[in-house]
Amino acid sequence: MIELYLSALVTFFVVIDPPGCAPIYAGLTHGATPAHRRSMAIRAVVVAAIILFVFAAVGEAMLKALGVSLSAFRIAGGIMLFLIALEMVFEKRTERREDRAAKVAQSPEVEDVSIFPMAMPMIAGPGSIASVMLMMSRNHGLEKVAAVLAALATILALTLVALLAAGPLMRLLGARIEAVITRILGVLLGALAVQFVIDGIRISLGLT
3-class SS of residue 38? helix
Q: Are 17 and 189 within 8 A, CB to CB?
A: no
Angle between helices 2-16 and 126-138 (to 10 degrees): 170
Cα(83)–Cα(122) distance, rounded to whole angstroms? 16
What pLDDT is recorded for position 110? Answer: 43
Per-residue pLDDT tens digits of the chain, which is 208 residues long: 889 999 999 989 988 888 878 877 876 776 678 888 899 999 999 999 999 999 999 987 887 888 888 788 778 878 877 887 787 788 766 566 666 666 666 654 445 889 887 898 789 977 788 889 888 988 888 999 999 999 999 999 999 999 998 867 666 766 677 677 677 777 877 887 888 788 888 888 887 6
Burial track 108-121 (b if 16+ CB lie within 10 A, e otherwise): eeeeebbeebbbbb
The predicted pLDDT at position 204 comes to: 83
